[in-house]
Amino acid sequence: MKIKTAALVIILALSLSGVLIVAVSMHSLSSIQEIKSTWMSLEAALPNGENANSFEDSTAGPSAELRETFYKSLDALTSSGNSILYLTSATIILFILSAYWLIRIQIIKPIHRLTQSMTSIANEDLDVEIYGTEKKNEIGEMARAVEIFKDNVYLLECAKTELFSANLDLESSILSRTNALKNSEEKLRAIVETAVDAIISIDKEGNICSYNSAAESMFGYQKNEVLGQNVVIILPEAFRNSHDEYISNYLQTGKPKAIGVIREMEAVRKNGQHFPIHVSISEVKVSDDVLFTGIIRDISELKAYQKSLQASKELANSANKAKTDFVSNMSHELRTPMNAILGFAQLLEMDENEPLSASQKESVGEIKTAGKHLLSIINQILDLNKIEVGKTSIKLTKTSPTELIQESLALIIQMSHTNNIELIDDIEYEKLPDLYTDEMRFKQVLVNLLTNAVKYNKQGGKIILKTEMHHNKLRFSVKDTGKGIPLYRQTQIFVPFERLGRENSDVEGTGIGLSITKKLVEIMQGDIGFESEQDEGSVFWFELPVYESVV
């Protein structure tokens, strides 16, 4: 606004000067007109043939008054011309001074300051103060534009700084990831190179792309001998044509036959030796390329071991059959005379014609006791033998356990009284579910556990029988207060003929009762186990399926 005002002032000054010049010019024109009139009057007053140029020297010319008038007009004209000259000069000087003030003060100086500010901004001095931003004229608009430019440069510098920092972070991240990738590749290469199994990769044409150290040892080829070669060089002749066809069919149909599974096949070493391998093949897609990686294991030793194991198994089966036949035959051979011995002992006791003396009766009683014990051992051996050869008769049916439990308790109650053992029946019979089991074998298992609890208990001890549900099975537990089983012997508890150090004790037994019990429980789809703490006693338990859960 101030520049416009200054310009208006200059225009007004020039207009006034023009008016003055016009006024002076009009006055000069008027004076010239008067001179012209005087001159014409002068010429009219001259005699014919004279001109006004000689009137000054003529005595016969115009009057002195007319000449005075002419000279006054001429002086006035000269004065007007001088005035015009002065006014014109003054106007020009005023114009120059006004223009200089306008340009120097209002334009050049502010622009110079703005130029300095722009130079400072160009030199990244963003703390420079912009001159004239408060002005409400064109210079102010320019200053505010420069201020906006400075702010934009500041934002640009901030953006450059952030971009530089981001670039540094990106470079650091790329470097870190590159190093991580390099380390990962080195680790992967080390893993592949140190793997026990041979690892071979091929492309979709079947050419070998990678080949680790284990493969060199396995096949006899060095890496430089096989890279780029078709993988069929390590396959038997019969598989070579079908291998390439398989890859082609898989790439066309996408239906794998060997990918993702472990196959047993033959391979060929460099020396032509055929040997068995296990190979698992996986597919790897890299960009638009397809690779197949095979992990190969030499199973020559495994095959030799399996062959040896099969031979040993056949030998063991043969020996086991011979043992089974021997045990069966011997048991029958022993049981027949044993029954005869027991029969004759009973006859001696019952002979009224020749009654036995007291010492003879005692001897016959010992014969009967020993005979029954030996007959029991023979029967247990026969049971174990039948279980091992799968000839045990088991009939699983819906069974109520209440009566079977009470019958089992009745069989050992006399034995418990003889040994001064308190038998505690802690079963809630009204809550017992029906079982899916064999009645006779159930009683055999329960009686065996109860009998052991009596035999290996202490005088005046207790036996507690209880039941509880456990995962759709009914658990029977027999707890005693005996000496317990040492921890180091607990792994042998179900081993046949293992008596856990009680061989020389006064407790009768063969060490096969728990073995038979375990096998019977498992045949009846149940589980068996125990917990024991030395000098505190043991808890033996078995579980049988509830009928409803089976149905």
DSSP 442-480: HHHHHHHHHHHHHHTS-TT-EEEEEEEE-SSEEEEEEEE
SS3 58: coil
Handedness of CA 504, 505, 509, 514 (dihedral sign): negative
pTM for the predicted model, two decimal places: 0.43
Contact (Cβ atoms closer than 8 angstroms) between residue 509 and residue 498: no
Residue 331 tokens, joined: 């048991």
Strand partners, 295: 199, 280
Q: What angle do CA 509, 513, 517 make, to 5 degrees?
A: 165
- 394-550: CATH number: 3.30.565.10
3-state helix, strand, coil in the chain (%, to 5): 60, 15, 25
CATH architecture of 195-298: 2-Layer Sandwich (3.30)
pLDDT, position 4: 54
Burial class for 208, CB neighbours closer than 10 Å (0-12, 13-18, 19+): buried
Task: Find the distance separating the first CA and the last CA of the chain, reported in whole Å.
Answer: 106
Task: Tell me which residue of 97, 79, 78 sits closest to 89, measured CA to CA.
Answer: 97
Tell me 487's DSSP state. Answer: G
Half-sphere exposure of 67 (CA within 13 A, CB side): 14
pLDDT, position 179: 87
Q: What amino acid is encoded at 205 in this protein? A: E
**CATH number, domain 304-386, options 3.30.310, 1.10.287, 1.10.10, 3.40.50:** 1.10.287
Phi and psi for 176 in degrees, rounded to 5? -65, -45
Residue 136 tokens, joined: 């409400």
Handedness of CA 106, 108, 110, 111 (dihedral sign): positive
pLDDT, position 111: 76
Residues of the chain where predicted confidence (pLDDT) is lower than 70: 1-64, 66-67, 70-71, 73-74, 77, 80-82, 84-85, 104, 106, 131, 258, 320, 323-335, 373, 377, 380, 382-391, 497, 499-510, 551
**Using CA atoms, how far apart are residues 179 and 184, in angstroms rounded to an integer?**
8
Q: What angle do CA 516, 519, 524 make, to 5 degrees?
A: 125
510-537 pLDDT, tens digit per residue, is 677 788 889 889 989 999 999 999 888 9
Residue 382 tokens, joined: 């026969």
Contact (Cβ atoms closer than 8 angstroms) between residue 200 and residue 296: yes
Q: What amino acid is encoded at 15 in this protein? A: S
Interhelix angle 439-455/401-418, rounded to 10 degrees, is 20
Contact (Cβ atoms closer than 8 angstroms) between residue 290 and residue 251: yes
In the chain, domain spans: 2-122, 195-298, 304-386, 394-550
pLDDT, position 59: 47
